[in-house]
A and B are shown apart, each in its own frame.
Chain A
């Protein structure tokens, strides 16, 4: 089992996935946790030997800030809310779809989306988003049967 936190901590709530990864790392040191802030093409190699992977990322879907969405990545592509709008770098949507085309998705892939409020320059999460990160961390710890320390 591997957890991948995705985002940019210098863009406000875009750092939600990274913050979740950091909290998971400190509370469950035995968990394999990966943090990715840029190019995600390499993530296919990182999870090559994993049966199950959980990805945590921020979303911009228009839902209220702090809304948590959970997707079992099966046959359908991720919703557009996960798209980074980046043009040169690979975001998680592109990485997952490329992985699917190449037959390199883990058997089980779950993506958590945490709706952000602000994505402007600056560090730190909005209170609603920070609370939602805590919910996701609890969910992941429960799913991995690791008791939080």
Chain B
């Protein structure tokens, strides 16, 4: 019986965004194959952007995701500005950072409280958890709402903002309009600190992984909109050199392309990577909270990513308050530039990791070619490798329990399947 093939399938992963599944094939105590199957239908964004005007890309690509539309808007805007030779600074640059803080707060609070925490506390979902942990769930909802409030104020609405454009904004907020937001953010910062303390008391399995972490790195800021692409194994490149170092390939079991570093294979993006490469750029209050929560050095355990998300939420509240305090509206709401035949690259830190956009423009400002590489598709190989190791240590578990633990393990990565599809169910095949 030792050689019997054992198949474990999680047929429809819950509490992740989009449709996907996990397939695990094991023979005896050896895991032969793990596939993260993504069957979210292909969405053809890169194809239907061709022939559209350069200014349309932010609003179009925002529709790729309802959780992280700002990331898509920002990566496309930076790519277009790169193509047009436009350099945006001053209050517009700062407001973009404020907007990104809103998205990190909203997305991280959703994942921490409504999707991930129930796994650690032993509940099927946040609704059942809310019956016993009312105060915590209320805290998560209030945090999420504060993030949404930033998006609504700067973007005109909470999801798929309409006030964001290449060159800047359609309208800049006044200082008076931002003032009430600062009051909410002061409270949110306290709630985020409570969140770091709360999640750091959870129990985490020992599961350290040695991935090459990839993230942006900026001379002075914890990265959101700008920086060089760096890694824990010495990669240090300009955004425009991305394609020289990273490749995407098709795999039969997924509608999402798999990314790899040409030199070394799989790599890992997202909060753990950002933290490992940039923790010296955190604000004092976030750095102190991270230390208090036991995140001294690198955190290489994907289960503990919930603590890093909480630290980043705290940072985002702190940073948002800094931006608001320093904000003085000046100049036009947006800079203009004439189109030209060019290629532009943009890479920003979506809540789930680096999001790369590249556009080729014709002389009349129409998009001739588009390329979008979302964070979840970059992480697929690393997730499959992690799942192989995770299941190997747990093959003695009965299928039902193993299936449940695999599903939890996948949620560590906060995968956004609809974004990556171009991407989850768990199947374990015990041969």
Contact = CB atoms under 8 A, between A and B. Distances in A.
Interface of A: 37-39, 41-42, 44-45, 87-90, 94, 97-98, 101-103
B104 to A, nearest CB: 16
Residue from A37, A42, A44 having most chain B Cβ neighbours under 10 A = A42
Interface of B: 13-19, 66-67, 110, 114-115, 126-128, 130-131, 134, 137-138, 141, 144-145, 148, 158-159, 416-417
B15 A87 contact: yes
Contacts of A94: 127
A39 B14 CA distance: 16
A87 B13 contact: yes
A42 B13 contact: no
A98 B19 contact: no
A42 B147 CA distance: 12
A15 to B, nearest CB: 16
A28 to B, nearest CB: 24
A102 B138 contact: yes
A101 B127 contact: yes
Given A88-B17, A88-B115, A98 B145 contact: no
Given A39-B158, A88-B15, A89-B17, 15 more contacts: A39-B66, A41-B141, A45-B141, A45-B145, A87-B13, A87-B14, A87-B16, A87-B17, A88-B16, A88-B17, A88-B416, A89-B67, A98-B130, A98-B137, A102-B138
A17 to B, nearest CB: 17
Q: Classify the secondary structure of A's interface with B.
A: loop
Given A38-B159, A102-B130, A102-B137, A88 B18 contact: yes
Contacts of A37: 159
Given A101-B127, A102-B130, A89 B66 contact: yes
Given A42-B148, A102-B138, A87 B158 contact: no
Residue from B14, B141, B145 having most chain A Cβ neighbours under 10 A = B141
Nearest to B144: A41
Contacts of B66: 38-39, 88-89
Residue from B16, B114, B127 having most chain A Cβ neighbours under 10 A = B127
A45 B127 CA distance: 16
Given A87-B14, A88-B115, A44 B158 contact: no
A98 B141 CA distance: 11
B164 to A, nearest CB: 17
A97 B125 CA distance: 11
11 contacts: A38-B158, A41-B110, A41-B141, A87-B417, A88-B110, A88-B416, A89-B67, A98-B126, A101-B130, A102-B130, A102-B137
A101 B145 contact: no
A98 B127 contact: yes
A102 B158 contact: no
Contacts of A101: 127-128, 130-131, 134, 137
Contacts of A103: 134
A89 B16 CA distance: 9
B159 A87 contact: no
A136 to B, nearest CB: 25
B370 to A, nearest CB: 20
B420 to A, nearest CB: 13
A11 to B, nearest CB: 13
A85 to B, nearest CB: 9
Contacts of B115: 88
The 3 closest A-B pairs by CB, nearest first: A88-B17, A101-B130, A97-B127
Contacts of A102: 130, 134, 137-138
Contacts of B158: 38-39, 42
B137 A87 contact: no
Contacts of B144: 41
A88 B67 contact: yes
Nearest to B113: A41
Contacts of A42: 145, 148, 158
Contacts of A89: 17, 66-67
A35 B353 CA distance: 32
Nearest to B135: A102
A97 B130 CA distance: 10
Given A87-B18, A88-B16, A88-B67, A44 B141 contact: yes
Contacts of A98: 126-127, 130, 137
Contacts of B128: 101
Nearest to B128: A101
Contacts of A90: 114
A82 to B, nearest CB: 14
Contacts of A38: 66, 158-159
Nearest to A100: B127
A37 B128 CA distance: 25
A123 B145 CA distance: 30
Contacts of B126: 98
A87 B11 CA distance: 13
Residue from A38, A41, A97, A103 having most chain B Cβ neighbours under 10 A = A41
Nearest to A95: B127
